[in-house]
Amino acid sequence: MLGRVNHIAIVVPDLGKAVASYRDTLGASVSAPQSLPEHGVTVVFVELPNTKVELLEPLGEGSPIRSFLDKNPSGGMHHICYEVDDILVARDSLIERGARVLGAGEPKTGAHGRPVLFLHPKDFFGTLIELEQV
Amino acid sequence: MLGRVNHIAIVVPDLGKAVASYRDTLGASVSAPQSLPEHGVTVVFVELPNTKVELLEPLGEGSPIRSFLDKNPSGGMHHICYEVDDILVARDSLIERGARVLGAGEPKTGAHGRPVLFLHPKDFFGTLIELEQV
């Protein structure tokens, strides 16, 4: 079921500082920031040869990553996103095997404009997993 | 400087359960466990099309991931490993830019038999970064 690692998401408290660090200190290629108010985040992409890292900063008071930052004020790794061919087939198979899908269980449109679902981190050893249909 | 994401490392409290979950629930290809006593871990590789996830369980009392599991009893994402061409050039460049290398600053032989270094997570927004020379 799991396809490519689409991205690894890292929440940071200050996107400007994080961009400078990844670009200037680590020498990576970093995109311009994109504000996604409907997702409550501002994001930049660190482009690696085989996948990407997404640096996320909370945007707005209702940001879904605000509580993560409250618990981890320095920031930290937030989730891994895997690609799947068919998100409904993946969801149904996962539920059949006892995994829990976050929210109402219906795919939402993710930050890349494609259907996504999140799986409960308690079912996967503390790792929040995003599935994205590509 | 940063090349491919070589792997994403996840610490788990029970490798057998984690293997079953990634293989049977998530439908991924998972390698046989390898005990690496000199690194204090038992590891399996979850093979994805573009990179891999390493599931790590502590091995022995002096395991370097024991304290992580004490703080995160369910497990969690532990580090990201990026490939670099020349680890000494990378190290010197990072130190010049103010980043801290963990330990004595000399590369060690990592779990894949290649030179590795770890960077201080406080310099990279709570993310532990491993560099591996390939």
The reported pLDDT for the residue numbered A127 is: 98
Residue B132 has a pLDDT of 98
Sign of CA dihedral B29, B33, B34, B36: positive
Q: Which of B10, B127, B129 sits opposite A125 (nearest CB)?
A: B10
DSSP state of B33: P
Interface predicted TM-score (ipTM) over 0.90:
yes
Q: Where are the domains of chain B?
A: 5-133
The partner residues of A83 in beta bridges, in order of sequence, read A132
Specify whether the CB–CB gap between B75 and B11 falls below 8 A: yes
Closest Cβ opposite residue B1 in set A27, A75, A125: A27
Distance between CA atoms of A44 and A16, rounded to whole angstroms?
10
At residue B52, what are phi and psi to the nearest 5 degrees? Answer: -140, 155
pLDDT bucket at B133, cuts 50 / 70 / 90: very high
Chain B: residue whose CA lies nearest to A29: B2
Low-confidence stretches of chain A (pLDDT beneath 50):
none
Q: Does B2 touch chain A (CB under 8 A)?
A: yes
Q: Do B48 and A75 touch (CB under 8 A)?
A: no
What pLDDT is attached to residue A122? 96
Rounded Cα distance, A18 and B43, in Å: 31
Going by the DSSP 8-state scheme, the letter that residue A25 receives in this structure is I
The amino acid present at A116, given as its one-letter code, is V
- Can you give the pLDDT at residue B46? 98
pLDDT at B83: 98
What whole-number distance in Å separates Cα of residue B30 and Cα of residue A124?
A: 15
What local confidence, expressed as pLDDT, does residue B48 receive?
A: 98
Q: Do B93 and A27 touch (CB under 8 A)?
A: yes
Tell me what pLDDT residue A29 has.
97
Question: Residue B112: pLDDT above 90?
Answer: no
Q: What is the pLDDT of residue B52?
A: 98
Mean pLDDT, range B107-130, rounded to an integer: 95
pLDDT digits (tens, 9 = 90+) for B40-89: 999 999 999 999 999 999 999 899 999 999 999 999 999 999 999 999 99
Residue B126's contacts (CB-CB under 8 Å, 6 or more residues apart) are A10, A72, A74, A75, A76, A77
Portion of chain A with pLDDT greater than 70, in percent: 100
pLDDT of residue A112: 86
A68–B contact, CB cutoff 8 A: no
CA angle B92, A27, B129 (to 5 degrees): 70
Tracing tokens 């573009």 back to the chain, one arrives at B50
CATH class of A5-133: alpha beta
Taking only the tens place, the pLDDT of each residue in B75-101 is 999 999 999 999 999 999 999 999 999
User: Cα torsion at B51, B57, B62, B66 (round to 10°)?
Assistant: 100
B72 CB neighbours in chain A (<8 A) are 126
Residues of A in contact with B18 (CB under 8 A): 125
pLDDT-derived band at B106 (thresholds 50, 70, 90) equals very high
Q: What is the pLDDT of residue B85?
A: 97
Cα–Cα–Cα angle for B79, A58, A45, nearest 5°?
Answer: 55
How much of chain B exceeds pLDDT 70, in percent?
100
Burial annotation B42-77 (CB, 10 A radius, 16+ → b, else e): bbbbbebeebbbbbbbbbeeebebeebbeebeebbb
Checking if the pLDDT of B12 tops 90, the result is yes
pLDDT for the residue numbered B29: 97
Whether residue B111 is predicted with pLDDT greater than 90 in this model: the reply is no
